[in-house]
Amino acid sequence: MTFPLFPAGNACPQKERLAPGAVFLHGFALREETSILTALRQITAEAPFRHMLTPGGRRMSVAMTNCGPLGWISDRSGYRYGPVDPESGKRWPAMPEAFLRLAIDAANEAGFPSFRPDACLVNRYEAGTKLSLHQDRDERDFSQPIVSVSLGIPAVFLFGGEKRADKAERIPVAHGDVIVWGGPARLRFHGVLPLKAAVHPVCGPYRINLTFRKAG
């Protein structure tokens, strides 16, 4: 169930509260669409998508890369953030101004005016891939929210509770949608159902997810 932040007839009809601390901003990223997609191509040219390994040695089905001062890394040593791309030995690409502006504006719209991300995890999904329910716990400061931007083909975002066994709400997300969760919702479990085959006019057969975090 979703809860409108504003009564019917008032402004911002595309802004919904999913739970205390969690807000769905429908189409919020479309205002920056051109600059975001241009920046995305530059990032992936410098730090291409790759399939990282889990600590158990399994290859992740979702391809990923990073930008910003810190990047999220998974390998046999565990999950962590680091400033250097382990594949190239170079620092992760700088976070583009369009990315930073989008993340700050979305967080502010959701009620988190002090958010300044230092990491952006870029995930690339294709048909059949999914993200199991999990918590984002690798960051140092849980007072800062998560800002999640959907691009490309549609998906179903799972927004659960504080325990993995809690029932998860199924939230359809489309190109340009943004979900922000923090405060009392910061450690809620979340994931993505297996994607259905589709083609987006710009992103092709993929869903791209930008996840902004304050990691350090």
CB atoms within 10 A of CB 6: 12
Beta bridge partners of 169: 159
- Top CATH class, 15-47+61-66+95-213: mainly beta
pLDDT of 46: 98
Domain positions in the chain? 15-47+61-66+95-213
Q: How far apart are the C-alpha atoms of 94 and 85, rounded to whole Å?
A: 12
Look up the pTM and report it: 0.93
Cβ atoms of 61 and 118 within 8 Å: the answer is: no
pLDDT of 207: 98
Rounded average pLDDT per 10-residue block, the chain, 216 residues: 36 80 98 96 98 95 98 96 97 98 98 97 98 95 97 98 96 98 97 98 97 97
For 12, left (φ over 0), alpha (ψ -120 to 50), or beta?
left
